[in-house]
């Protein structure tokens, strides 16, 4: 498969394909396109994936708010590091996967996987946050959720809805060999974060209009 001829490398060429571009490819094919692409690409489920489009005001307001709220909770502990969406993630289970979450928290030294010379991706997040939008919700709550849960370092996942007041939290329960699923939908509710406290939904959605 000559991926470099099937996937556009320039942003101008990519825009012609609309909001979502998916091409079945091997990991090796993905590594060929990664350094050449002028836009963000991910790889999971055996596909090279690019989702583009103007983010809604709600989406961007929530991303900014959750990073601020998590930082307020965790910054007192210098072992926590909070990153935005430009941090690449690498996960390897049955397949190899390369992602960008809306917010990533690492505790301690970030462990890296060199996927290409000079291109490193983080492998040991403890918390991953995705702000859901209509174009990404189905993928985030299916394929990404499954792969994120397979990462042994991950202790919690937060999926935040941008079209309604709802935060879905998955917390790892090692003693149960499973995950605790909780939904938070009331503005007075507090969503816990890594056992370090929590944030109120009213604070998360303070500037958001549905």
For residues 33 and 108, membership in a common domain is answered with no
Exposure pattern of 87-114 as b/e (b: 16+ CB <10 Å)?
Answer: bbbbbeeeebbbbbbbbbbbbeebeebe
For residues 165 and 194, membership in a common domain is answered with yes
Give the pTM: 0.91
Evaluate whether residue 209 is within a structural domain: no
Q: How many domains does the chain have?
A: 2
- Residue 73 structure tokens: 């909770």
Evaluate whether residue 144 is within a structural domain: yes
- The per-residue pLDDT for 117 is 94
For residues 162 and 180, membership in a common domain is answered with yes
For residues 44 and 81, membership in a common domain is answered with no
Contact by Cβ (8 Å): 169, 156? yes
Q: Which domain holds residue 90?
A: 57-204
**Domain of residue 113, CATH code:** 3.90.1570.10
For residues 183 and 116, membership in a common domain is answered with yes
Per-residue tens of pLDDT for the chain, all 210 residues:
344 447 788 888 888 888 888 889 999 999 999 999 999 999 998 899 998 767 789 999 999 999 999 999 999 999 999 999 999 999 987 789 999 999 999 999 999 999 999 999 999 999 999 999 887 888 889 888 988 999 999 999 999 999 999 999 999 998 878 999 999 999 999 999 999 999 999 999 999 999
Evaluate whether residue 210 is within a structural domain: no
For residues 46 and 64, membership in a common domain is answered with no
Evaluate whether residue 146 is within a structural domain: yes
Evaluate whether residue 18 is within a structural domain: yes
Evaluate whether residue 12 is within a structural domain: yes
- The per-residue pLDDT for 207 is 95
Element (H, E) at 68: helix 57-74
- The per-residue pLDDT for 4 is 41
- The per-residue pLDDT for 106 is 98
Which three-class secondary structure state does DSSP give residue 144? helix
- The per-residue pLDDT for 53 is 67
């Amino acid at each position: 498969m000559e991926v470099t001829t099937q996937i556009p490398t320039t942003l101008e060429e990519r825009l012609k394909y609309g909001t979502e571009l998916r091409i079945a490819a091997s990991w090796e094919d993905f590594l060929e396109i990664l350094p050449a692409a002028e836009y963000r690409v991910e790889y999971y489920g055996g596909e090279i994936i690019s989702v583009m489009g103007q983010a809604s005001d709600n989406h961007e307001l929530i991303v900014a708010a959750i990073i601020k709220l998590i930082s307020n909770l965790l910054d007192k502990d210098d072992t926590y590091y909070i990153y935005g969406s430009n941090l690449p993630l690498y996960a390897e289970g049955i397949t190899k996967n390369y992602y960008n979450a809306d917010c990533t928290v690492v505790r301690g030294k970030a462990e890296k996987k060199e996927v290409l010379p000079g291109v490193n991706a983080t492998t040991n997040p403890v918390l991953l946050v995705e702000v859901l939008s209509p174009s990404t919700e189905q993928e985030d709550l299916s394929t990404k959720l499954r792969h994120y849960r397979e990462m042994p370092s991950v202790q919690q996942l937060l999926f935040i809805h941008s079209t309604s007041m709802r935060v879905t939290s998955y917390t790892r329960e090692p003693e149960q060999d499973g995950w605790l699923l909780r939904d938070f939908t009331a503005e007075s509710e507090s969503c816990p974060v890594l056992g370090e406290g929590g944030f109120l939904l009213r604070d998360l959605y303070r500037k958001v209009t549905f």
